[in-house]
A and B are shown apart, each in its own frame.
Chain A
Amino acid sequence: MYIRDTIAAVSTPPGNGGIGIIRISGDLAATVGHTVFKPVNDGGLVSHRFYFGTISDTSTGEKIDEAMSVFMRAPRTYTREDVLELHCHGGWLVVERVLALVLSCGVRLAEPGEFTRRAFLNGRIDLVQAEAVMDIIASKSEAALQLAQRQREGILSRRIENVRSCLIRSLALVEAYIDFPDDDLGETDVTSICSSVKEAQDIISDLLLTFEEGRIMRDGISVLIVGKPNAGKSSLLNRLLNENRAIVTHIPGTTRDIIEETISFEGLSIRLLDTAGIRHTDDLVEQEGISRALEKIPLADIVLAVFDTSREFSQEDQLILEALAGCRTIAVLNKTDLLERFILPDEERFVSIIKIAALSGAGIDLLKQTVCRLFLHSAGLDSRESVALSKARHRDALVSAELSLRHFSVGLRDRNLELLALDLRNALQAVGTVTGQTATDEVLDQIFSSFCIGK
């Protein structure tokens, strides 16, 4: 509802396009530009000029994409505010990651029609255009309302309602001890306060998981296959492809040296990214090639690390393991039909370890099931039954609520009730944005119905 803050949105149509543009408008636009985008010439961004460079995750320093960027200083912009545009590769994964990165810089996701609204409010467009904008906002919010109403009948709103009532319960307890010190309420009931918060936290993390699930049902997952040559990568890929006739696309990599194949398994769309170009030698140039391919690892939802168990664990295997540090990885032990000489070090770091024999096809089904199960937590694949938190806005709200509750848990040590109340209130407010409710009166209702108060 703020008017002067900075907003961002993907301004290209949803889905995989050739290019994806993230537009940011507001005072923070320049700061965001400096933070996430590094032009190749390493200088600043001169207004209204296009730059080539890279977008990196500020917290980890990890490179997300090569991109073009343009910063436009107010007032010569569409909204008459500072505007930054990031043009990245159109894959949904990249665009979503960049958007998430931008939002983590203190920027808010834009409301429907908000760029145009700002354009009007800042005198950029005239009244006739503005009337059209009002209708757009009305119709879009109408659509959102219908969506919300549909969801209201569904599980999402029930779960959100559960979160709210947990939070209201704990906030009411906290507020009662603050506002009625003379009312014989006994000692502050920290246990009850915390157990309600814990309940809310659990529901929120479940919901966030299903958000992930909803996204996965819609867009599928990407699986990166890595391994040294002759580990059986190609056989594995072929086996996966042969077993499934439903090949959707076959996109040869252009500059990325990656082959992308899509299969469908039990309704889940799985994109297999095969690092086919990697060939190991001791040659430094070749090693550079490997590491460049491995840069794509963070973009994958999961990595299949293929090992040849008929040979001993080698230097090359070690190299791959090091590159996979911190990634969700399944160890695929191939050629188990042969004599096993292989000992996998550090087994706990793998999400799962699957033994297969790619040539005979043994273990392939188990592998596929394991992958599916990792991403679809709830029983079965019927998305109507699971709560699909598909809207980024809802996810935003829940993430912010989760953060406030984490603050709350940290603050418990000091037992400063008014600060605990602040955290709970922020969490409630965040959750309230999903269903559009405010809480003050409900908190008071809760206090008066659970405590005998009054002098």
Chain B
Amino acid sequence: MITCDQTYDVIVVGAGHAGCEAALASSRMGCRTMLLTINLDAIALMSCNPSIGGLAKGHLVKEIDALGGEMAKNIDATGIQFRILNTKKGPAVRASRAQADKQQYRLRMKRVLEHQANLDLKQDEVTSLYLENGRLQGVDLRSGIRYLSQTVVVTTGTFMRGLIHIGLNHYPGGRAGDQPSVGLSDQLRELGFDVGRLKTGTPARLDARSIDFSQLETQFGDNPPQPFSFSTKEITMPQLPCHIAYTNQRSHDIIRSGLDRSPLYSGIIEGIGPRYCPSIEDKVVRFPDKERHQTFIEPEGIDTIEVYPSGMSTSLPIDIQIAFYRSIVGLERVEIMRPAYAIEYDYVDPIQLHTSLETKSISNLFHAGQINGTSGYEEAAGQGLIAGINAALRVKGCEPLVLGRSQAYIGVMIDDLVTLGTKEPYRMFTSRAEYRLLLREDNADLRLREIGYQLGLVSDQEFAHFSEKKNLINDELERIATTRLVNSDFQLEELARRGLHDIQKGTTLEHLLKRSDFCYSDLAELDPVSRETIPEIREQVEIQTKYRGYIDRQLEQVEQAKKLETTRIPISLDYASVKSLTTEVREKLSKSRPDTLGQASRIPGVTPAAISILSIALKSSSWKEHVQ
């Protein structure tokens, strides 16, 4: 092994959505960073669906942006359809989603990485971590070179021992067209990590020229398109529609006829797949009464004829694939350009991580993305950002950044992962967040911008813009709380026109805005000053006023839980020595080794009584004297 004389602060293994955010974060924080990838032409590649965002995922993207990550800016620059979902529901569950031009998305991210100071990009495969006396020193590469580094962030996606299935055929691969990563997960297993196997899948890519779009429903994006990033002024990419098609009984019969050659049902695939993203054969088998299944035919880009039929992933043999795609109305003559496939890969149970995403058993080693058992670009990017930040903070000798469950979806996700581990691919849902009303897309900047700025990831200009917005919101909240209706003739007329006769003179604007039949634009009709308020301030003022009761109640819960969340448990704590704990609780705590009492309280089977006992054990400074 040839050792390179150049030493890095941070080495990031893998240049997918996690790896890119990790490498950008650490290099922007001033750390000498190297980003390694098996294929430099596949940086930030969207291996599955050509879209970013959706429920809870859109929230993650906005949080990444608020903290100074790249994902939101990248999709804003390359997105070809933008939609806000759930606009008819409450503000906390509204979410942004965008279709991407897949190639442009990848190329723009590569360009950003290439122009980033402190960052080296290299194509090679990491075959093992390099440790000396159990201490992490760097990585060894397939080409025979050894790079030294203080910290390593592993973001291997589906590449570790990746195995691709199409029908009963299977072959090693990290993604269709790419080699798998071999050796690294064996080493992790030898180092004592609990390594498991997961499965995911992707649909075929179809030739748009062979689809009769006149037979399909058309779905356009919002006009004007709303960007993800708090820094993007407007979307300039041309916008394209998606199309909606449906399977039918004949499609389902074809699928059933191929089940005997399905690797899923013949037991060849051992990895566990995501229940929220089942293959089409899984849907047909599990919901036999459902007459049809919907698919969005999504464009893969502006300059390509490849389209992506969402929800139609499969590992059935290629002949069945062709027959079943062609059974769909409008797709009768469809040509498959790339077959659908399933992929199995190694992951490392994230219960073995701290909330900083550093592994508990090897210092300075961080894991992010699918290696932690998650699925989704946004989930990966969120973890990558945190892992990159924390690797950099380690190099600088600072405390890690841990986002709380009441602060960010990123915090909920990481806490779920490291506290409970996962046995199936983990995806973010808004229902996982107990403080959902606090964690909205619209206030991601109010929650996290400051943190991003302090880390050095948010520019002065961006932060100045944010501070101004924050001040305007506070000023406006203050103004509507103190401005009262004087009931001039025009106000009375306006109120009467709306059938609001019960409103008294002297009512504050705030009081009016709290009413369910009154929104900010109504206020603007009554009050000339409100008319001048810009949309992003209006939105915040309206949400914060209308939902104040609920928001305050959640804030109160957060405050009450704070003591538990901030009480740290030393990693060295020997649970066996806390004699009052029951054996069951002791075993659970020893396995999971939580970082805080709050985390401990979320482990199933750890009772409130056990938390009480633990808190007492921790409080006694010389708790080691408990050991008998």
Binding site for B on A (CB under 8 A): 1-5, 111-114, 117, 120-121, 127, 130-131, 133-135, 137-138, 140-142, 144-145, 175, 178-184, 414, 416-419, 421-422, 425, 436, 438, 440, 443-444, 448, 452-455
Q: What are the residues of chain B within 8 A of A180 when measuring CB–CB? A: 55
B436 x A418 contact (CB < 8 A):
yes
Q: A121-B619, A178-B86 are in contact. Are A135 and B580 (CB under 8 A)?
A: yes
Q: What are the residues of chain B within 8 A of A2 when measuring CB–CB? A: 560-561, 563-564
Q: What are the residues of chain B within 8 A of A5 when measuring CB–CB? A: 560
B612 x A452 contact (CB < 8 A):
no
In angstroms, Cα B89 to Cα A454, docked, is: 21
Q: Count the A-B residue pairs with Cβ separation under 8 angstroms: how many?
A: 139
Q: A2-B561, A440-B432 are in contact. Are A184 and B85 (CB under 8 A)?
A: no
Across chains A and B, which 4 residue pairs bring their CB atoms closest together, nearest first? A141-B609, A138-B580, A2-B560, A184-B294
Q: How far is the CB of A105 from chain B (nearest CB, A)?
A: 15
A418 x B89 contact (CB < 8 A):
yes
Interface centre among B290, B431, B619 (most CB of A within 10 A): B431
B48 to chain A: closest residue by CB: A455
Q: How far is the CB of B332 from chain A (nearest CB, A)?
A: 22
Q: How many residues of B contact A (CB 8 A)?
A: 60
B87 to chain A: closest residue by CB: A181
Q: A2-B560, A4-B560, A418-B89 are in contact. Are A452 and B580 (CB under 8 A)?
A: no
A138 x B582 contact (CB < 8 A):
yes
Q: What are the residues of chain B within 8 A of A453 when measuring CB–CB? A: 276, 278
Q: How far is the CB of A440 from chain B (nearest CB, A)?
A: 6
Q: What are the residues of chain A within 8 A of B613 when measuring CB–CB? A: 134, 137-138
Q: What are the residues of chain B within 8 A of A452 when measuring CB–CB? A: 278, 283, 286-287, 290, 293
Q: Please choose the segment from B60-68, B178-186, B382-390, B600-608 that sits at the chain A interface, where 4 or more of its residues have CB less than 8 A away.
A: B600-608
Binding site for A on B (CB under 8 A): 49, 54-56, 85-86, 89-90, 92-93, 274-278, 283, 286-287, 290, 293-294, 296, 310-311, 429-432, 434, 436-437, 516, 550, 559-564, 580-582, 601-602, 604, 607-613, 615-617, 619-620, 622, 625-626
B429 x A179 contact (CB < 8 A):
yes
User: A141-B607, A452-B290, A454-B275 provided; 17 other pairs, C-beta below 8 A?
Assistant: A1-B608, A3-B560, A112-B609, A120-B619, A127-B620, A127-B625, A178-B55, A179-B430, A179-B431, A414-B516, A416-B90, A419-B550, A422-B437, A425-B434, A443-B431, A452-B287, A455-B311
| Option from A134, A145, A419 in Cβ contact (under 8 Å) with B580 | A134
In angstroms, Cα B438 to Cα A395, docked, is: 30
A182 x B612 contact (CB < 8 A):
no
Q: How far is the CB of A331 from chain B (nearest CB, A)?
A: 44
Q: What are the residues of chain B within 8 A of A422 when measuring CB–CB? A: 436-437, 550
Q: A130-B620, A179-B56, A438-B604 are in contact. Are A138 and B609 (CB under 8 A)?
A: yes
B90 x A419 contact (CB < 8 A):
yes
A138 to chain B: closest residue by CB: B580
Q: How far is the CB of A131 from chain B (nearest CB, A)?
A: 8
Interface centre among B287, B563, B609, B611 (most CB of A within 10 A): B609
Q: How far is the CB of B588 from chain A (nearest CB, A)?
A: 13
B623 to chain A: closest residue by CB: A127
In angstroms, Cα B617 to Cα A443, docked, is: 35
In angstroms, Cα B437 to Cα A113, docked, is: 34
A454 x B278 contact (CB < 8 A):
yes
A421 x B564 contact (CB < 8 A):
no
B311 to chain A: closest residue by CB: A455
Interface centre among B294, B437, B608, B610 (most CB of A within 10 A): B608
In angstroms, Cα B286 to Cα A76, docked, is: 65
B612 x A117 contact (CB < 8 A):
yes
In angstroms, Cα B564 to Cα A178, docked, is: 30
In angstroms, Cα B582 to Cα A140, docked, is: 12
A455 x B432 contact (CB < 8 A):
no
A130 x B609 contact (CB < 8 A):
no
A455 x B430 contact (CB < 8 A):
no
B277 to chain A: closest residue by CB: A454
Q: How far is the CB of A127 from chain B (nearest CB, A)?
A: 5
In angstroms, Cα B581 to Cα A135, docked, is: 9
Q: How far is the CB of A160 from chain B (nearest CB, A)?
A: 17
A414 to chain B: closest residue by CB: B516
In angstroms, Cα B614 to Cα A134, docked, is: 9
Q: A179-B56, A455-B310 are in contact. Are A138 and B437 (CB under 8 A)?
A: no
In angstroms, Cα B277 to Cα A120, docked, is: 50
In angstroms, Cα B564 to Cα A1, docked, is: 8
Q: How far is the CB of A239 from chain B (nearest CB, A)?
A: 52
Interface centre among A134, A414, A416, A417 (most CB of B within 10 A): A134
Q: What are the residues of chain A within 8 A of B290 when measuring CB–CB? A: 452
Some 17 contacts from A to B, beta carbons below 8 A apart, are A2-B560, A2-B564, A111-B609, A117-B612, A120-B619, A134-B613, A138-B580, A138-B582, A145-B607, A175-B429, A179-B93, A181-B86, A182-B296, A417-B93, A422-B436, A452-B290, A455-B277
Q: How far is the CB of A174 from chain B (nearest CB, A)?
A: 9
A138 x B581 contact (CB < 8 A):
yes
Q: What are the residues of chain B within 8 A of A455 when measuring CB–CB? A: 49, 277, 296, 310-311
In angstroms, Cα B560 to Cα A5, docked, is: 7
In angstroms, Cα B274 to Cα A183, docked, is: 16
In angstroms, Cα B616 to Cα A453, docked, is: 45
In angstroms, Cα B3 to Cα A162, docked, is: 64
B431 x A133 contact (CB < 8 A):
no
A181 x B55 contact (CB < 8 A):
yes
A130 x B616 contact (CB < 8 A):
yes
In angstroms, Cα B562 to Cα A162, docked, is: 33
| Option from A1, A181, A444 in Cβ contact (under 8 Å) with B85 | A181
B613 to chain A: closest residue by CB: A134
Q: What are the residues of chain B within 8 A of A114 when measuring CB–CB? A: 612
| Option from A120, A137, A142, A418 in Cβ contact (under 8 Å) with B92 | A418
Q: What are the residues of chain A within 8 A of B431 when measuring CB–CB? A: 175, 178-179, 421, 440, 443-444
Q: How far is the CB of A109 from chain B (nearest CB, A)?
A: 12
In angstroms, Cα B416 to Cα A440, docked, is: 11
Q: A184-B294, A418-B90 are in contact. Are A1 and B437 (CB under 8 A)?
A: no
A448 to chain B: closest residue by CB: B275
In angstroms, Cα B577 to Cα A78, docked, is: 28
B434 to chain A: closest residue by CB: A425
Q: What are the residues of chain A within 8 A of B86 when measuring CB–CB? A: 178, 181
Q: How far is the CB of A446 from chain B (nearest CB, A)?
A: 11
Q: How far is the CB of B214 from chain A (nearest CB, A)?
A: 21
A454 x B612 contact (CB < 8 A):
no
Q: How far is the CB of A435 from chain B (nearest CB, A)?
A: 12
Q: A141-B609, A418-B92, A419-B550 are in contact. Are A133 and B616 (CB under 8 A)?
A: yes
In angstroms, Cα B286 to Cα A455, docked, is: 16
Q: A111-B608, A418-B89 are in contact. Are A448 and B276 (CB under 8 A)?
A: yes
In angstroms, Cα B351 to Cα A11, docked, is: 42
Q: What are the residues of chain A within 8 A of B276 when measuring CB–CB? A: 444, 448, 453-454
Q: A3-B564, A130-B620, A137-B580 are in contact. Are A111 and B612 (CB under 8 A)?
A: yes
Q: How far is the CB of A362 from chain B (nearest CB, A)?
A: 57
In angstroms, Cα B565 to Cα A3, docked, is: 11
In angstroms, Cα B561 to Cα A3, docked, is: 7
Q: What are the residues of chain B within 8 A of A419 when measuring CB–CB? A: 90, 550
A117 to chain B: closest residue by CB: B612
In angstroms, Cα B582 to Cα A135, docked, is: 11
Interface centre among A120, A421, A444, A452 (most CB of B within 10 A): A452
Q: What are the residues of chain A within 8 A of B601 when measuring CB–CB? A: 1
Q: What are the residues of chain B within 8 A of A4 when measuring CB–CB? A: 559-560, 562-563
Q: A452-B283, A454-B277 are in contact. Are A178 and B430 (CB under 8 A)?
A: yes
Interface centre among A112, A179, A417, A438 (most CB of B within 10 A): A179
B49 x A417 contact (CB < 8 A):
no
In angstroms, Cα B626 to Cα A145, docked, is: 25
